[in-house]
Amino acid sequence: MSEPLNGKKIAFLATDGVEQIELTRPWKDLQGAGATLELVSLEAGEIQGFHKLDKAHTFPVDKTVADTDAADYDALVLPGGVANPDLLRMDENAVSFVKKFLNEHKPVAAICHGPWTLIEADGLKGKTLTSFPSLKTDIRNAGGTWVDEEVHVSDGLITSRNPDDLDAFSAKIIEVMSPAG
């Protein structure tokens, strides 16, 4: 099996309230494609995943965002859930971390409510993206164009709407990150 992401290092930025499948599924797919992955969060220890509104598993944090440099990574993944991106967008270090990826034009993948953090990082002006439908007005107010698509790519920004789109989301991240992509 080909591993197109060998040598690529990808940060997953998440905290308590992350929609578990939006963390675990892309993680499994990107790891299977050969990428090295790290879970970056607001605090050391573990984060609490959720399945909709029910607590699910916990996940060990590799690094805190305050002690992490975006320059160490080739790409960023922002899983959704409602609480997760809401907490991230209120954290100065998390917002700064996301801004660095955007400013360096590195691939950033966000699903569901994940674009809330992109909005706070002032990273949507002139971009077209998709998300969970409830973010449509927020994205437009932040200068972006919202589309209702399974997956959308705009200037290295890879977005999807919800867990139903995970096949396309993961495949598009791999495609964009691959040497031929």
Catalytic center residues = 112-113
Please name which of 121, 33, 145, 120 lies closest in space to residue 131, comparing C-alpha atoms.
Answer: 145
42: DSSP letter? S
3-state secondary structure of 65: helix
Cβ 71 vs Cβ 128: under 8 Å:
no
Contacts by residues 137-145 (CB-CB < 8 Å, ≥ 24 positions apart): 139/115, 142/118
H or E stretch at 31: helix 20-32
